[in-house]
Amino acid sequence: MKLMRGLLDLVVLQFLRAQPMHGYQIITKLRKQFGVYFGPSTIYPLLSVLEENGYVKSRWDLENERPRKVYDITTQGTELLGCTEDSLTHIYRKLAISNNRIPLVGNELTVEDVADGKKHMNGGHHGRIQMPPP
């Protein structure tokens, strides 16, 4: 999966919503989860900007061999993620409905298939599929 650099701040906030992390943990998780490498020269300035804007806060963890700055999402960061998720979901629905298709990884269903509750994708039984509410 190609991770667009413009979405990197949102991905980092999503990681921090799950748990506080230091920069190297974020770099490693990006590589493992998305198969891309963003180095310290990208991640640490990004974290600084997110902190300056009030989306994350940091603290020093002095309990390990070497001190590490650990970042956590703030209420403002969580609110930004919520608004962004709502906007992206809205855009996704509009695109799916305007194309009369619902894109799925390796599959496509029509809006009518979803409304009818089709149970089979690639020949497998996956339970009832429903369109998310608008």
Q: The domain that contains 68 carries what CATH number? A: 1.10.10.10
Let me know whether 70 and 22 are in one domain: yes
Q: For the chain, give the longest Cα–Cα distance.
A: 58
**How high is the pLDDT of residue 102?**
56
**How high is the pLDDT of residue 94?**
83
In a domain, 114, yes or no: yes
Q: Has this prediction a pTM greater than 0.85?
A: no
Res 98 pLDDT > 80 = no
In a domain, 93, yes or no: no
Let me know whether 46 and 103 are in one domain: no
Compute the Cα dihedral for 17, 76, 84, 59 and give only its sign.
negative
Banded pLDDT at 57 (limits 50, 70, 90): very high
Please provide the average confidence, as pLDDT, over all residues in the chain.
79
Using CA atoms of 108, 113, 115, 118 in order, give the dihedral in degrees to the nearest 10: -100
47: burial class by Cβ within 10 Å (0-12, 13-18, 19+)? buried
Judge contact between 23 and 40, C-beta under 8 A: yes
25: burial class by Cβ within 10 Å (0-12, 13-18, 19+)? middle
Compute the Cα dihedral for 124, 100, 86, 129 and give only its sign.
negative
Banded pLDDT at 101 (limits 50, 70, 90): low
Let me know whether 72 and 112 are in one domain: no
Q: Which domain holds residue 35?
A: 5-81
Res 126 pLDDT > 80 = no
**What share of the chain in percent tops pLDDT 90?**
50
In a domain, 111, yes or no: yes
Res 47 pLDDT > 50 = yes
Let me know whether 67 and 104 are in one domain: no
Domain count, the chain: 2
Res 55 pLDDT > 90 = yes
Let me know whether 108 and 46 are in one domain: no
